[in-house]
Amino acid sequence: MKLKICGGVKEYGRACFLVETAAHSLLLDAGVMKGNGVSGHQRWPLLTPDEIKALSGVFITHAHEDHTGALPRLFDQGFRGDLYGTQLTERYLLKSGLLSQEVMNRHWRSLEMISGDQHQVCFHSFLVSWGANGHMPGSVWYTLKDSLHGKKLFYSGDFSCDSLLMRYQLPACRSYDMAIIDAAYGLDAFEQKNQLRLMMQLIDDKLAQGGRVLLPVPLQGRGMDLLALLLSQIHRRRYTLAIDARLEKTLQESLQYPEWLRRNRIVDAQHPATASHYLDRCLAEGSLCLFDDNPPFRIPDTPTVMLSAHGMMEDDLSQCIFQQLTGKDLVLLTGNQARNTFGYRLLNQTETSLQGNAPSTRYIRYNVHLDIYQAAALATKLQAKKWLPFHQKNRFELPITHHMHETLLDPNVGDVIRI
């Protein structure tokens, strides 16, 4: 079995791994590099036309663009195989318009996800299994076993063990010849509970000073977690929560799929009414208000926390709110800002349109990936003979145990590894 790194290693984006045996080949994800000004050469996974035509299928971990954005291009270049992913991933892909209903009808093969169970399917000479990886609804890891040679591979997709809402599982089977593991945060290891404490402290301080706080978040994953957290804190902290109406809709939808949810006091998977209850109560009493772009949202003067629905502020509603903020207010960024997006420019103080009385910007990361220590711990748990971190921005020296150095691989995009 051979593994070609087509993207996603030592870079944040275009996650794509080609697995080949003598008889068949498949892809694990087919993402693009996001960000303004990314050149064509960097944007797409490194695949030759012959490799694309020879593919039997693509296994997709989740709907994010950095894992799926290259799918239309694969079809343009002669791919005729099947696409595999969960039903929720299919739903999100259709909703995003990335692939047409016609293409999905012809090529999509849904993978089941029933509460508590792990599943497997035969794909040519591979036995493929999957399970929840805690990143967003519908998001999974995969294991591949090559039945001809018995070699085993684990691919985490975007993995989180820190989500407030999403549950994760580990594969029942251990001992892998190779594990490809999300290590997006590299050496920047921050404990989630400390990050949340810092975040809430910053929000409390800003509101106490008479300011307002804008948190731009993506619709899924981090957006859902922070919405649930802020909802649960409304009464204790006495603020108004104003959110993009799409976030409320997405949370209501997520609660319809308890098989993906963790059991805790914010959302109990057995009683998903808990978060719905917060939503209903806060909406009824007016401490939660929803906005969209019609009519244009006017931000209140009272202590208000706002959630807009684009993590990098590249949408009209985030911009509309930002224009109304003043020097006493705060923009709190909590996730990756792709190069040259509005959020990136704010954070790096390169946004040229700012007037004198602009709000301050802070960054406190909310973890939706693993750092290198968590990735190493996962590799150990899985008893991986070799492991390969992906999604991390830079190359790094790993200051952990000697044992980890022995098992850690350090390839580049374009390299081929024999498993």
Residues forming the site for Zn ion (CB under 5 A): 64, 66, 158
Cβ proximity of 215 and 307 under 8 Å:
yes
Residue 126: its H or E element: strand 126-132
Min dist CB 143 to Zn ion, Å, is 19
Min dist CB 139 to Zn ion, Å, is 7
Min dist CB 257 to Zn ion, Å, is 17
Min dist CB 29 to Zn ion, Å, is 8
Going from the C-alpha of 404 to that of each of 5, 185, 190, 372, 378, the distances in angstroms are 21, 17, 20, 11, 11
- Which CB, 64 or 310, lies closer to Zn ion? 64
- Which CB, 207 or 372, lies closer to Zn ion? 372
- Which CB, 12 or 278, lies closer to Zn ion? 12
- Which CB, 60 or 379, lies closer to Zn ion? 60
- Which CB, 11 or 329, lies closer to Zn ion? 11
Sign of CA dihedral 62, 60, 152, 390: negative
- Which CB, 66 or 90, lies closer to Zn ion? 66
Min dist CB 12 to Zn ion, Å, is 8
- Which CB, 1 or 179, lies closer to Zn ion? 179
Relative to beta strand 108-111, strand 82-86 is parallel
Min dist CB 80 to Zn ion, Å, is 26
Dihedral (Cα; 48, 387, 193, 288), 10-degree rounding: 30
Distance CA 31, CA 162 (A): 24
Instruction: Report long-range pairs for 350-353 (Cβ below 8 Å, ≥24 apart).
Output: none
DSSP letter for each residue of 263-290:
-SSS-BTTBTHHHHHHHHHHHHHTSEEE
Three-class DSSP category at 321 = helix
Min dist CB 375 to Zn ion, Å, is 14
DSSP E strands, 280-386: 288-291, 304-308, 330-333, 360-363
Residue 58 DSSP label = E
- Which CB, 334 or 361, lies closer to Zn ion? 334
- Which CB, 158 or 225, lies closer to Zn ion? 158
Distance CA 62, CA 285 (A): 36
Relative to beta strand 387-390, strand 178-182 is parallel
Min dist CB 237 to Zn ion, Å, is 30
- Which CB, 10 or 64, lies closer to Zn ion? 64
Min dist CB 368 to Zn ion, Å, is 7
Exposure pattern of 138-163 as b/e (b: 16+ CB <10 Å)?
bbbbbbbbbeeeebbbbbbbbbbbbb
Closest C-alpha to 387, from 409, 369, 405:
409
Min dist CB 370 to Zn ion, Å, is 11
Ramachandran quadrant class, 41 (left: phi over 0; alpha: psi -120 to 50; beta: rest): alpha
Sequence-ordered list of residues with C-beta below 8 angstroms from that of 392, at least 6 positions apart, any chain: 10, 12, 183, 184, 185, 186, 372
Closest C-alpha to 108, from 166, 48, 145, 63:
63
